[in-house]
Amino acid sequence: MRVRHVEPPRRFRVGEGSRIELRHVADMELEPDEVVTFRAPSGSEADVTRKAWGYYWTGSLNERLPAHGLEPVIVRGADGKTFLMLVEAERGQEFLDYCAAERLTPERWLGRDA
């Protein structure tokens, strides 16, 4: 694995009315069969696994993610773009408020529907 820190972080605005500022802080390069785990202070975690053919972008939607405090959901924006989001189980209302503010529609809760 190689990590390149972006110093200073690249800042850019996104979302409805460009109200949200993101900071691009690092690039990671994985070899096939390497795994990176992303962890939050809440205890939730999500893995990304590099394969020779591409990526497993999450652990299993109906077992590993819920066991680690995350619920996968397909979301569609008002512009027609589709996203896979991982919602911390205890922050569902905050997620729904975010969707309303950003004109996003949760289309399918994958772990629940699997």
Per-residue model confidence as pLDDT tens digits over 74-86: 999 999 999 999 9
Q: Tell me the pLDDT tens digit for each residue of 32-57.
A: 999 999 999 999 999 999 999 999 99
pTM: 0.86
Task: Choose among 67, 23, 27, 29: nearest CA to 45.
Answer: 67
CA distance 66 to 80: 27
**Average pLDDT of the residues of the chain:** 93
Domain positions in the chain are 1-30, 31-113
